[in-house]
Structure 1
Amino acid sequence: MSTYLEEYKRKLISAEKAAELVKSGDIIEYGMFATKPIDFDYALAKRAGDGLEKVSIRGTGTILPIPEVIKNDPEQKSFQYFSWYFTAIDRKAGDFGLACHCPFNYHEATLLAYSPDFAHAWADVWVAQVSPMDPSGCFNFGLGNSHNRGIALNSRIAIVEVNHNMPRCLGGSDEFIHINEIDYIIEGSNQAIFSMPPAPEPDEAERKIANYIMEEIPDGACLQLGIGALPNLIGNLIAESDLIDLGIQSEMFCDAMVRMYEKGKITNTMKAKDRHRYFLIP
């Protein structure tokens, strides 16, 4: 650990100094979803109009806070913002001509990140929020694993922005990056990680739909539940049901999955693939 700490100190950099590494014409990749950098984004946005030109910034599933590079450069003199996966923020920015969609199939994200066939699209600078370094020298991507690791490894400069509020989420599938694999470390301002508000109460129609679906779920079924009132209602009904040995193979976790697990409904023992493991796929 002492060796890692020495390397950690050598790679420490301020957000402002990190932003100065960006050159005209660069492609900047922001971390996906909740790993979008905060302090680096603020520092980079301050460079709008300082002679920096044609810098492409790519996000994936943009969440709050709204990127400063969008807010601080509405005329796009320095920055153009792109998103691989549009959220409400991306769509609204797009309505004002402040964001463009990068069309691709999300399940191909890791192919884009790793395949040399797409080397022309790899980032010059990758920056993402991570959890604090662990004793093994690893930074965890927390709530935004996605294709962060592949993009980071194939970028010209890889920078992590440490946020002590980012939870450490293990899974054994590209959820970390080692200190030896990055170039710089920003110690961020530890802002709260964005989280969705609780799902609304289901209406009568959604309750009827959920009851119909419950009749079709057998023991040992492999499930994928989205977000919103209906998926959470189904998950809560499963938690209180007699169903057993269910599996999860999902793009995301919804709140009800926690109750399903606590009630012993999720074992993953009957899955055809990734048995005994919860698996989230892009």
Structure 2
Amino acid sequence: MWRKQYNNKLKSIEDAILSLPKRATVVVGLAATEAQGFLSNLHKYKDNFEYIKVLTCLNMKEYPFFMEKEYENKFANHSWFYAPPTRKAKSEGLCTVDYIPNNLHMAGTDKIMSEKEDDSKLVFWGTVTPMLENSGYFSLGLSNVYEMEVIENADMVVLEVNNNMPWIHGETQVHINQADYIVESDWEIPALPIVEPSELEEKIAKYIADLVDDGSTIQIGIGGIPNAVAKLLVDKRDLGVHTEMFTESMIDLFEAGVITNNKKNLWKGRSICTFALGSKRMYEWLNNNPGVWVMRGSYVNDPFVIAQNDNMISINTAISVDLQGQVVSEAIGTKQFSGTGGQLDTHRGAIKSKNGKGIIALRSTAKKGAISTIVSAHPQGSTISVPRHDVDYVVTEFGVAHLRGKSLSQRVKALIEISHPDFREKLLTEAKELGYI
């Protein structure tokens, strides 16, 4: 029964693209689940469309439709989170790329509401696993940040079946009845190299690990500092996972018996995330693993939901922090670098949790020690990712500044103490000139 319906909906990628409305907003899956068959071929059919806006998040590859100037009047790539391809297009002055400010737990619903004000049709084109023959279900696999909300509200749904996509448990099931078209495209799922932490990152991680108590539920990101933190958590007990992004470092903690999820208030025994990105080894480990559930981003990243886990620890990184405690994590001046993502979501959830902690980590300097990342004031127009009134712990390789509930002068002194020694006198002078102390 389901196979017959599958065959009736099956199209070539070319035919499916040509079936799109002349004007449309096409939302694709996040990061490793972005529909590469669609994205790699869209530009070939520019003469068939009036205007196509493609919504992405954390682009994995450079695609001609947004990387080449000849397509500027036909296609646009709006993104919730910049990655190297979108940063490159923006730096080259291409107007095809634009950023969507957001809190991750509201990204899908906010954008659906916004698109309903436009006259274009809303299309979802996402990557899924092969269909289960006995039930007609596919799995969204590695991401459900906004995907399910879009599927439920789209005017058209195209599922790009990929044999390499792991089947992930949770709220990932999409039925054949929900699809208008099926295409098949077996590209390799993008993988990230494992980043080994530097000596400096290990120093930062040591301070962070000391803030994590046995029985805590953790949210941890990706990169050298988070990887270093994970390595230093091997002596902890009964940790739980409620995280936006499932990362490679968590597997080692599972296999060491550190992560049990037994002390969580929500979803005991299971790790909860809203997307996963890592190595091929991680994808194989996650495949059909009932201990890890991918849930909607609107649930996983809701600060109210996060706060229901006692002893919640949110660990995020930043580009710079000013002496008031304002955190910049996504931009350099007015130049968008990445995105807010779920940083403010998870940070706010953690500080509202019973005995929870929101941790912001960063190196004390940038550009090989030439500039301080602790600054007296951010440049005019800087995007603040975490407001000063939300900030809890700030950690560098020189220590921990606990800012929650502290006055402005107390914050200044605490942050200068964890800044690089080469910049402390200058920061103190500037703080006095600004009237902070």
Q: Normalising by the residue count of structure 1, what TM-score does the alignment of the two structures yield? A: 0.88
1:83-162 to structure 2, matched below 5 A, reads 83-95=79-91, 96-97=93-94, 98-112=96-110, 119-120=116-117, 124-134=122-132, 135-162=134-161
Query: Could you say what secondary structure the match of 2:117 adopts?
Result: helix
CA distance in 2, matches of 1:177, 1:196: 26
CA distance in 1, matches of 2:2, 2:103: 38
- What residue number does 1:255 align with? 248
CA distance in 1, matches of 2:223, 2:153: 35
Change (3 A) 1:72 1:22: farther
Gaps of 5+ in 1: none
Residue from 273, 278, 281 that aligns with 2:271: 278
Q: Compare CA radii of gyration and give the structure with the larger one.
A: 2
CA distance in 1, matches of 2:169, 2:103: 25
Following superposition, the deviation at residue 245 of structure 1 comes to 0.9
Residue from 185, 188, 194 that aligns with 1:192: 188
Question: What code does the residue aligned with 1:227 have?
Answer: I
Following superposition, the deviation at residue 63 of structure 1 comes to 1.0
CA distance in 1, matches of 2:65, 2:258: 45
8 Å contact 2:65–2:71 — kept in the other structure?
Answer: no
Q: For 1:6-60, what per-residue CA distance to the aligned partner results, in whole angstroms no more than 9, with x for missing partners?
A: 1111110110111111233211112222221122223321012x15222211112
CA RMSD, aligned part only? 2.1
Q: For 1:66-124, what per-residue CA distance to the aligned partner results, in whole angstroms no more than 9, with x for missing partners?
A: 2232245544131111112222222222222230112222121243377x686436952
1:1-282 to structure 2, matched below 5 A, reads 3-48=1-46, 50=47, 52-64=49-61, 66-71=62-67, 74-95=70-91, 96-97=93-94, 98-112=96-110, 119-120=116-117, 124-134=122-132, 135-171=134-170, 173=171, 175-188=172-185, 190-199=186-195, 201-239=196-234, 241=235, 243-280=236-273, 281-282=300-301
Q: Which has the higher contact order (CA 8 A, sep 6+)?
A: 1
- State, as a whole percentage, how many aligned pairs show the same letter: 31
8 Å contact 1:45–1:73 — kept in the other structure?
Answer: no
Change (3 A) 1:270 1:52: same
CA distance in 1, matches of 2:82, 2:169: 26
Query: Could you say what secondary structure the match of 2:21 adopts?
Result: coil
Q: For 1:164-200, what per-residue CA distance to the aligned partner results, in whole angstroms no more than 9, with x for missing partners?
A: 11111112x3x12110111110011x1111111111x
Query: Could you say what secondary structure the match of 2:245 adopts?
Result: coil
Following superposition, the deviation at residue 261 of structure 1 comes to 0.5
Gaps of 5+ in 2: 274-299, 302-437
8 Å contact 1:85–1:106 — kept in the other structure?
Answer: no
Q: For 1:133-188, what per-residue CA distance to the aligned partner results, in whole angstroms no more than 9, with x for missing partners?
A: 123211111122211111012111100011111111112x3x12110111110011
Give the stretch that moved more between structures: 152-161 or 103-112. Answer: 103-112
Change (3 A) 1:109 1:275: farther
Question: What code does the residue aligned with 1:156 have?
Answer: D
- What residue number does 2:285 align with? none
Give the stretch that moved more between structures: 73-82 or 83-92. Answer: 73-82
Q: Work out the number of aligned pairs and report it.
A: 271
8 Å contact 1:126–1:152 — kept in the other structure?
Answer: yes
8 Å contact 2:67–2:89 — kept in the other structure?
Answer: no
CA distance in 1, matches of 2:130, 2:230: 32
Give the stretch that moved more between structures: 244-253 or 85-94. Answer: 85-94
